């Protein structure tokens, strides 16, 4: 099965979602796609209070199978990791199940390639940058997240004449590498990695 390109899906980037929340911990808003929402819109509540930080999505859409209106209302947990220079960085925690297994990945972007918003791994999405330049070496080095945020802010337009811009592609590539680094670190800290370390020590 060929992968769908991520650029063609509805997506929500965490930095964008929280861009106006530097001084607030709650908002209830509408997210629009296209021109004034002609490509779709959803209700979105963001709560950064307490231990259960979340974003709640609520929307109605017509079922492809039954052509009846279906209501969706669910929460995606938000999680934080400390920043190198203080403060913390927010992530979505993907709530999808793939082949019966809960995903739970920490991701910076959610996509909608089905009924719910989930990560690109669950939806089997690929970045077009991967096709063009090949996948950057994962876990090669830890990337400075602020650099990436700065890169994203500099991207004035993501597409030009139907093609992703070079600046946007560069950003996507960096963002992907950063995500892999983070997942790599999380894995290293997990028990599995500790077991591997123990096993290698025993061999010596």
CA angle 189, 123, 127 (to 5 degrees): 85
Taking the least distance from each CB to Zn ion, the nearer of 14 and 103 is: 103
Taking the least distance from each CB to Zn ion, the nearer of 96 and 178 is: 96
Calpha distance 146→164 (Å, rounded): 22
Calpha distance 178→163 (Å, rounded): 23
- 140: which residues sit within 8 A by CB, 6+ positions away? 177, 181
Among 46, 55, 109, 119, binds Zn ion (CB under 5 A): 119
Site membership for Zn ion, residue 148 (CB under 5 A): no
Minimum Å distance from CB 25 to Zn ion? 26
Taking the least distance from each CB to Zn ion, the nearer of 101 and 199 is: 101
Taking the least distance from each CB to Zn ion, the nearer of 27 and 121 is: 121
Q: In b/e form, how buried is each residue of 140-168, taking b as 16+ CB within 10 angstroms?
A: eeebebeebbebbeebeeeeeeeebeebb
Site membership for Zn ion, residue 17 (CB under 5 A): no
Counting residues that bind Zn ion (by CB under 5 A) gives: 7
Minimum Å distance from CB 110 to Zn ion? 9
Taking the least distance from each CB to Zn ion, the nearer of 27 and 56 is: 56
Calpha distance 16→175 (Å, rounded): 14
DSSP state, residue 37? T
Minimum Å distance from CB 132 to Zn ion? 24
Minimum Å distance from CB 112 to Zn ion? 12
Site membership for Zn ion, residue 109 (CB under 5 A): no
Residues 178, 165, 4, 134, CA torsion sign: negative
Taking the least distance from each CB to Zn ion, the nearer of 109 and 172 is: 109
Among 44, 122, 143, 174, binds Zn ion (CB under 5 A): 122
DSSP state, residue 20? T
Of residues 46 through 85, those in contact with Zn ion by CB under 5 A are: none
Binding mask 88-107 for Zn ion (x = CB under 5 A): ------x-x------x-x--
Q: Which one, of 5, 114, 97, lies nearest residue 61 by Cα?
A: 114
Kindly list the residues in this chain that would bind Zn ion in the complex (CB under 5 A): 94, 96, 103, 105, 118-119, 122
């Amino acid at each position: 099965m060929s992968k769908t390109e991520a650029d063609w899906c509805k997506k929500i980037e965490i930095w964008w979602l929280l861009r106006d929340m530097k001084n607030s911990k709650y908002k209830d808003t509408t997210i629009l796609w296209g021109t004034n929402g002609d490509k779709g819109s959803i209700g979105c509540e963001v709560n950064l209070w307490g231990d259960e930080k979340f974003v709640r999505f609520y929307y109605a859409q017509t079922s492809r199978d039954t052509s009846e209106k279906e209501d969706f209302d669910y929460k995606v947990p938000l999680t934080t990791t400390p920043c190198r220079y203080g403060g913390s960085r927010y992530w979505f925690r993907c709530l999808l199940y793939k082949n019966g297994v809960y995903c739970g990945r920490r991701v910076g972007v959610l996509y909608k390639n089905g009924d719910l918003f989930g990560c690109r791994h669950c939806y089997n999405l690929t970045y077009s940058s991967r096709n063009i330049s090949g996948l950057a070496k994962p876990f090669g080095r830890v990337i400075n997240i602020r650099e990436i945020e700065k890169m994203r802010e500099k991207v004035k337009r993501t597409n030009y004449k139907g093609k992703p811009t070079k600046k946007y592609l560069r950003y996507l590539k960096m963002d992907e590498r950063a995500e892999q680094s983070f997942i790599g670190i999380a894995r290293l800290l997990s028990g599995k990695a500790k077991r591997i370390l123990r096993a290698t020590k025993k061999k010596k």
